[in-house]
Chains A and B, each alone.
Chain A
Amino acid sequence: MTQPAEPDFEVIVIGAGIAGCVAAYQLARQGRSVLLIERGEAPGSKNLSGGVLYSRGIQQVFPDFGHEAPVERRITRNYISFLNADSSVAIDYKDARLADPVNAVTVLRAKLDAWLSEKCEEAGAIIMPGVRVDRVLTEGTRVVGVQAGDDELRTHVVVAADGVNSFIAKEAGLRQQEPLNHLAVGVKSVISLPRETIEQRFNLTGDEGAALAVVGDCTQGVGGGGFLYTNLDSLSVGIVVRLDDLTAKQKVVTDIFDHFLQHQFIAPYLEGGELLEYGCHLVAEGGLHMIGEIAMNGMVVVGDAAGLTLNTGLTVRGMDLAVGSAVAAAEAIGDALDRKDTSKAALASYRDKLFASYVGQDMKTYAKAPHFLEVERMYQQYGELFANVLYGTFSLDTQPRQHLLKVARKSLARSPLKMRQLVRDGIAGVRAL
C-alpha cells in the first residue's frame, strides 16, 4: 500500500511559518484538502526572524505581495561594517535599483505570517491554531498522520514545517542533533521610534529601508555578527552568535547583546526608542552540509526544519529559501498525489526540484561559506587592521605622508595577522563567497 485509504486530509502541514504557509497555499490552490496546524494561539505568534526577506521568490507565489502584504520597508541601503571598540570601517551600498523591482523587505513575522495564513484560508486550506503536534503517526516505515493530544488525524502526506528545532524531522530520523558549529543563537529587540526619526537617522525617504550588518567588536570576538534593520516605525536590532564559539569562550549571550546595544556606533541609532518586544531564535548555519534526507514515505521537510539557511557573510537568508523549498515540495506532493503514490520514491522529486531551483543552487554555490566564516580573524583582527590603515592615511599629524601601500604594510606588521593568513583568507573568501 502506498497511501492510506481514507485520510482526513490529503495533506497536513505542521507549522504556519513561511515554509508551512506557502506549502499549504500552493497545495490548496491545486485543489487539495489541506490542514495547516499551528501551535501558537494564532499563526505568526511563535515566529521570529532577524527581519530581512529577499522577496522575489514570494512575489512569484503571491502576485499581490508587493502592495498587499504587511511588509515594513523596501531595503535600498545595505551597510556592511567591521566594528572595533573605537573605530568602524564600512561599505555603504545604496542603490535605487533595489527598490524596483523590490529585492528585499523588512518584515515582522507576527504580522506577515498572519497575512500568509489568511491567504491559505482564502485558497481553501483549513487552519488549526493553538494545537501542538506531539508526534507523527506511523505504520511501518510510513508516516500516515499526526497526533495532537488525544486527536489523531490521518493524511497522505505530512509537511514538517516546524522550524529549526524540528522535533518532527528528528523523531522521524530525518535529522540528527546538529554540531554546535552549525548552530547560532539570534537575540533581538524590536524598538519603536517615530517614522521621521528613522528616516532621518538612516538617510531614507518614504518606505525605503536600511539593513546594517556588522562584524567584530559587536560580538566581543565571538563568531557571528550584529544587525540593525529599519521597520516602518521600529528597528529590529540584534546579534547572532555561533554556539560552539559562545560556549568555548564562556561568554554570557545577553552580555554580548547589551554590549552591542550600548556600542558607541550603535547606541545613537536607538536613542529615545522604546522596547516593543524581546525575542530570540536558533539559526542553522551549516549550509549545504546540514541538508540531510528531506523526504520519506508520507512526509517531506521544508524551510528551517530542513536546515535551509544561508549566511554568505553579506546576505543572511532563510525566509526566501523557505519559500523556494515549499514551492518545490508542493509541486512534488501534487505530482505524487496525482499518481496516488506518496512513497519516499515518489516524493523524491522534491529534492530534484529543490536543487534545480535557486534554493539548492545557492546552497551549493555557498557550500564553503560556513567554514570560511569560522575563521577567527574575521571577528576582531581584520576590522582593526582596516581601521589602522585608514587611520594612517587620514590622521595628518604634520609628519610627512607615506604611500598607502607602506601604511598598509606597517599596519600589517603591527597586527597579529600574518601576510600568508591574509592571502589564504583572501583566496578562501573569494572561493567561498
Chain B
Amino acid sequence: MKPLSVPERLTKNRFLLDEEQSHIEVNQEIAKATGTGKLLVACCPAHVYTEEPDGTISVEYAACLECGTCLAIAAPGALKWHYPRGGFGVQFREG
C-alpha cells in the first residue's frame, strides 16, 4: 500500500481556517543564515514550510497541526509561532 502524500492526508482532517491572520512568521534572513529554513522543511510533519527556488521559506499556515516542532528547532529569531486564535486551526476528531 503506497502511503498517501502529506496533502492527501491533511484532506482527512478537519480545519477551521483563520482567514484573517497567520499564526506563523518566518524571518527569512535569520532562517537562511542559521540553516533553520531547511530544518523547518525537513522536520514539519504537515509540510507547512517549503523552500522556494529563491531560497526563501514559504508558509502554508492553514495546514499546521500545531505540534510546535518548528519552534523547538528554530534558531532564536528565525520563527514566530504561536497557537492560532481560539476556535481556529486543526480540530481533531480522533486525536
Q: Which residues of A contact B (CB under 8 A)?
A: 39-42, 44-49, 108-113, 129-132, 148-149, 164-165, 167, 177-178, 180, 183, 185-187, 189-190, 234, 243, 246-247, 250-254, 257-258, 261-262, 267, 270-272, 275-282
Contacts and interface: CB of A to CB of B under 8 A. Distances in A.
23 contacts: A39-B86, A41-B16, A46-B91, A109-B95, A111-B94, A178-B72, A183-B69, A185-B45, A185-B69, A234-B94, A243-B43, A247-B73, A250-B42, A253-B44, A267-B1, A277-B94, A277-B95, A278-B10, A279-B13, A280-B65, A282-B67, A282-B69, A282-B72
Contacts of B89: 46
A230 to B, nearest CB: 14
A115 to B, nearest CB: 12
A132 B45 contact: no
Contact of B95 (A47, A148, A252, A270): A47
A253 B43 contact: yes
Contact of A278 (B9, B16, B84): B9
Contacts, number: 139
A392 B6 CA distance: 41
A44 B3 CA distance: 27
B83 to A, nearest CB: 6
B9 A275 contact: yes
B50 to A, nearest CB: 13
A146 to B, nearest CB: 12
Q: Main SS of the interface on chain B?
A: loop
Interface in B1-38: 1-4, 6, 9-10, 12-13, 16
Given A45-B90, A45-B95, 17 more contacts: A44-B95, A45-B91, A45-B92, A46-B89, A49-B95, A110-B94, A111-B95, A148-B86, A167-B82, A167-B83, A183-B69, A257-B45, A258-B3, A262-B1, A270-B1, A277-B12, A279-B95
B69 A278 contact: no
B94 A246 contact: no
A424 B41 CA distance: 37
Contacts of B82: 167
B34 to A, nearest CB: 12
A280 B10 contact: no
Contacts of B42: 246-247, 250-253
A149 B86 CA distance: 9
B46 to A, nearest CB: 7
A40 B93 CA distance: 11
B57 to A, nearest CB: 15
B13 A254 contact: no
Contacts of B13: 277-279
